[in-house]
Amino acid sequence: MKKQGFTLIELMVVIVIMGILAAVAVPKLFGMIAKSKASEVGPAAGEYIKLQDAYVAETGVYYGSWELIGYSMPTSSNFDYGGYKGANEKTSITIAKTDAWTATAKATLNDCPKDSKWGIDIAANSSTGGSVVYTASLQNQSQCLSLTPNYAAFSSDRKTLN
């Protein structure tokens, strides 16, 4: 007589192995999803800084609105973008702008709570001939920094993250 099929022990071993794999893989998967959603913050901030630098170099005016520098952020399902969108206003070299560019999370991303805010502040640096100094800031840094670990690189000193 020929036996076909699996024994109950073999089936139980397979189920246990699948359970262990699922217990390890599912949390990792959700972490990757949150990180991929947060990955849009870096390129958006980088584009803003490049356009602001180009505007300063071309005009000699220290700070321009989003409209003047040609920055537009497309609609996002993950973040609300904000900042200085004043209609064609130019700001003199002596004035600093806080929250010149911001990204606010619309939903909780892993441990990073909803309404967490990534920001870029701008100030003049007269010691370097009127160049612009950027300071990156991150609200809820302890929970959100793992989603955007290179965000501190947007600060002009490349070391600090407020």
CATH number at residue 141: 3.30.700
Residue 111's pLDDT is 87
pLDDT digits (tens, 9 = 90+) for 75-87: 789 999 988 766 5
Domain contains 28: no
pLDDT category of residue 93 using cuts at 50, 70 and 90: very low
Asked whether the CA dihedral 59, 62, 67, 71 is positive or negative, the reply is positive
Q: How many domains does the chain have?
A: 1
Domain contains 14: no
Domain contains 130: yes
Kindly give, in sequence order, each residue whose CB lies less than 8 Å from that of residue 156, ignoring residues fewer than 6 positions away.
125, 132, 133, 134, 135
CA atoms within a 13 Å half-sphere pointing along the CA-CB vector of 79: 23
Average pLDDT over residues 79-106: 74
Domain contains 24: no
Residue 159's pLDDT is 52
Q: 104: which 2 tokens?
A: 């606010």
Model confidence at 27: pLDDT above 60 = yes
37, 45, 102, 109, 128 from 113: Cα distances, Å: 14, 20, 16, 6, 38
83, 98, 99, 108, 132 from 127: Cα distances, Å: 26, 20, 23, 41, 11
Domain contains 16: no
Domain contains 15: no
Residue 13's pLDDT is 95
Q: How far apart are CA 140 and CA 136, in angstroms?
A: 13
Residue 158's pLDDT is 54
Domain contains 138: yes
Residues of the domain holding 97: 35-154
pTM: 0.76
Model confidence at 161: pLDDT above 90 = no
Output the average pLDDT for the chain. Answer: 83
pLDDT digits (tens, 9 = 90+) for 34-73: 899 999 999 999 999 999 888 888 887 777 788 888 888 7
Residue 46's pLDDT is 92
